[in-house]
Amino acid sequence: MDILGISAFYHDSAATLVRDGEIIAAAQEERFTRKKHDNQFPSNAVEYCLQARDISADRLDYVVFYEKPLLKFERLLETYIGYAPRGFRQFLMGMPLWLRLKLHLPREMDRALHNKYKGRYIFTEHHESHAASAFFPSPFGEAAILTMDGVGEWATGSFGTGRGNKIELTHVMQFPHSLGLLYSAFTYFTGFRVNSGEYKMMGLAPYGEPKYYDLIMEKLIDLKEDGSFRLDMSYLPYCHKTVMTGSKFEKLFGGRLRRPESPLTQREMDIAASIQAVTEEIMMRAARYVHHQTGMKNLVLAGGVALNCVGNGRILREGPFDNIWIQPAAGDAGGALGAALLVWYQLLGNERKVDGRDKQQGSLLGPAYSNKQICRFLDSLGARYHSYADDGQLIDKVAELIDQEKVIGWFQGRMEFGPRALGNRSIIGDARSEKMQSVMNRKIKFRESFRPFAPCVLREDVNSYFEMRNEEDSPYMLLVAPVQKGKRLPLDVPLESLKGLDKLKVKRSVVPAITHVDYSARIQTVDRQRHPKLHRLMSRFKEKTDCSVIINTSFNIRGEPIVCSPEHAYRCFMGTNMDVLVMENQLLYKDEQPQAKQHEIDEYKAQFELD
């Protein structure tokens, strides 16, 4: 039985194909259209899913959409009526899209499936889809479920339990009170883009002090012991305006919002640190309450807030649960997967077997390209490359190049599903290098200099480098943990003397490129089973250097979706200062290629709107 899951029209459209409960394929539309967070109907992703199973749409048994458009429309209408006559402009702006697309979804889906699908369409609820995406692929037979995001139809957060093949959400929190939207309001205020800059604000937080924590708690939010809260909407005009913060908010924080791309000041860093601390407090209270109410040992998480890996790390280290599992595509893209699994298990009542391993398959669920396809593409360009018949020789060479501080595009196997590159569409480099953080930010990714990089660490060595509780796994890069004290270095200047971005200038550990200014790191553990080739590469690197850690950042530049095909990878390689590109068993050196001219690099960068 083939079930197609779809999410679309909000942000991060995606499609998934589930066959007899097994995840066959999943991908975000942005990877194909090259438009970051593309929210159009995911026609390309659907096409890919059908190809992956080699079927046409008439063979699909069910098509399921990840939320209920009518309920969402009702929320929009009621919010408008609640604030009328204010908000008329915002209401009018949203209407054409609703009338044209969202209220006629079956028609839209018919068209995308070339009128071949004759079955019925199923619509699941937004938070049910998140919950299903968290529980069903998890390794647990039973678990507490916690979802938190911006907003779905009405719900902004929910909790309940999953047992066997059933989930049940018993509690919901409703719009406009939303942790996701609160975090986004601060993202907006600190001059980053809503729905994509949240990650940047989280990365900025360690440069500041949580000076505004009490102010936020006192004025903006009425937080209960159980983690639920009410926001004072007079500070947050997002219900009736197209902005997220207004003059009252500015007055409270003693100044105007930061214009995007203008210099960052200590104030933004302190504000980021404060809202991050508030968010962690809410996540911790919610986790404790859910534990208390459900009595479960395991917790699963999804919804955009579950991408707050600093908060996740705290729940794991300080929280009451024995184990946690987080859906890697925790945002709305993952809703497509949850919706499809919900149909298979909950609606159709199929048995769910657990064997201690998750069913996400390393989240490597996107397209793959063979050596033959890659060579054909490179030949068509006249690119110079070296093909390695033997994996061992290739790996030996790449390990040597990392040791020489080369920046390497690493393109292998199936593309990742979810926002993180997990070693199949990654740029990798030497974590021991002092210059690498700045080189990668400025010359490769063309992004803000304050942004930290994440490490890949050999699974078996995680505890020698990081303080992970119980040597926990973090295969999806969703947990932040401190660098082990034994790997830290004495500072050559007193810590108190460092303010703001000056904190960057100090070497803090034996792996400085991935040690954030507060000694934290967003960890991906690499194991032999999920990532055999990367594991081999890192093991070889360790043999050479005695270091089990490398940098792993997504294969893209600022504003660009992660690369999908060899063509995208080659263009990104040529459009940046990357030294080496490895695609399956082909290795390319930049200095052997016809040099890309500066204007071509500029044109490449100009294609992607800054995020």
Choose between 204 and 333: whose C-beta lies nearer to Fe ion.
333
Residue 332 Cβ vs Fe ion, minimum distance, rounded to whole Å: 5
- Going from the C-alpha of 55 to that of each of 19, 29, 47, 49, 59, the distances in angstroms are 12, 19, 10, 9, 6
Would you state the structure tokens that stand for residue 430, as one six-digit string?
């030497």
Burial class (CB in 10 A: 0-12, 13-18, 19+), 543: exposed
Q: Which is nearer to Fe ion, 152 or 475 (CB)?
A: 152
Interface mask toward Fe ion for 18-57; x: CB under 5 A = ----------------------------------------
Least distance CB 11 / Fe ion (angstroms): 9
State how far Cα 455 lies from the chain centre: 15
394: left (phi over 0), alpha (psi -120 to 50) or beta: alpha
| Beta carbon nearer to Fe ion, 132 or 431 | 132
Determine the residue with CB nearest Fe ion: 149
H/E element holding 458?
Answer: strand 454-458
x/- letters, 142..181, toward Fe ion (CB under 5 A): -------x--------------------------------
467 vs 373: CA distance, rounded Å: 42
Q: Specify the long-range contacts of residues 290-296, CB closer than 8 Å, at least 24 apart.
A: 290/144, 290/146, 290/159, 290/227, 291/144, 291/319, 291/320, 291/321, 292/320, 293/144, 293/159, 293/171, 294/144, 294/159, 294/160, 294/161, 296/142, 296/143, 296/144, 296/161, 296/321
CB of 194 or CB of 381, closer to Fe ion: 194
Q: Which two tokens stand for residue 179?
A: 């942790």
CB 478, min distance to Fe ion, A:
16
The CB-of-401 to Fe ion minimum distance in angstroms stands at 40
Q: Which is nearer to Fe ion, 149 or 396 (CB)?
A: 149
2 binds Fe ion (CB under 5 A): no
**By C-beta, is 173 or 264 nearer to Fe ion?**
173
Nearer to Fe ion, 123 or 519 (CB): 123
Show Cβ contacts of residue 361 under 8 Å, excluding neighbours closer than 6 positions.
Answer: 23, 530
**Which residue's CB is nearer to Fe ion, number 126 or number 414?**
126
Q: Which is nearer to Fe ion, 38 or 332 (CB)?
A: 332
Nearer to Fe ion, 187 or 520 (CB): 187
HSE at residue 236, side-chain half, CA atoms within 13 A, is 23
Q: How far is the CB of 99 from Fe ion (least distance, A)?
A: 23
Bridge partners (DSSP) of residue 324 are 299
- To Fe ion, the closest distance from the beta carbon of 200 in angstroms equals 20
Report DSSP state, residue 483. B
- Rounded to a whole number of angstroms, the minimum distance from the CB of residue 151 to Fe ion is 7
d(CA 346, CA 348): 6
Give how many residues touch Fe ion by CB under 5 A: 2
CA distance 175 to 150: 9
Min separation Cβ 176 and Fe ion, Å: 15
Q: Give 219's DSSP letter.
A: I
Distances (CA, A) of 109 to 48, 69, 112, 120, 130: 15, 13, 5, 11, 21
| Other CB atoms within 10 A of residue 292 CB | 11
Judged by beta carbon, residue 133 or residue 586, the one nearer Fe ion is 133
Nearer to Fe ion, 10 or 62 (CB): 10
CB of 126 to Fe ion, least distance (A): 6
Tell me the per-residue interface mask from 313 to 342 with Fe ion, x by CB under 5 A, - otherwise.
Answer: -------------------x----------
Which class for 53: exposed (0-12), middle (13-18), buried (19 or more C-beta within 10 A)?
Answer: middle
- SS3 at position 556: coil
Task: Compute the least distance from the CB of residue 157 to Fe ion, in Å.
Answer: 10
Compute the least distance from the CB of residue 156 to Fe ion, in Å.
9
402, two tokens:
């990392």
Question: Which residue's entry shows tokens 């909000």?
Answer: 10
Distance between CA 183 and CA 194 in Å, rounded? 9
| Closer residue to Fe ion in complex, CB, 203/335 | 335
Q: Which two tokens stand for residue 477?
A: 């890069």
Q: How far apart are CA 236 and CA 338, in angstroms?
A: 31
Least Å from the CB of residue 307 to Fe ion: 11
Q: How far is the CB of 147 from Fe ion (least distance, A)?
A: 8
Rounded to whole angstroms, how far apart are CA atoms 190 and 541? 40
What are the DSSP E strand ranges found in 227-383? Answer: 229-231, 298-302, 323-326
Residue 282 or 523: which CB sits closer to Fe ion? 282
Residue labelled with tokens 């991908």: 27
| Residue among 29 and 332 whose Cβ is closer to Fe ion | 332
What letter represents residue 274's amino acid?
S
Q: How far is the CB of 135 from Fe ion (least distance, A)?
A: 16
**Least CB distance to Fe ion at residue 130 (A):** 6
In this structure, are residues 180 and 166 in contact, taking their beta carbons and an 8 Å threshold?
no
| Helices (H), ranges, 457-579 | 462-465, 532-545, 566-575
What residue ranges bind Fe ion (CB under 5 A)?
Answer: 149, 332
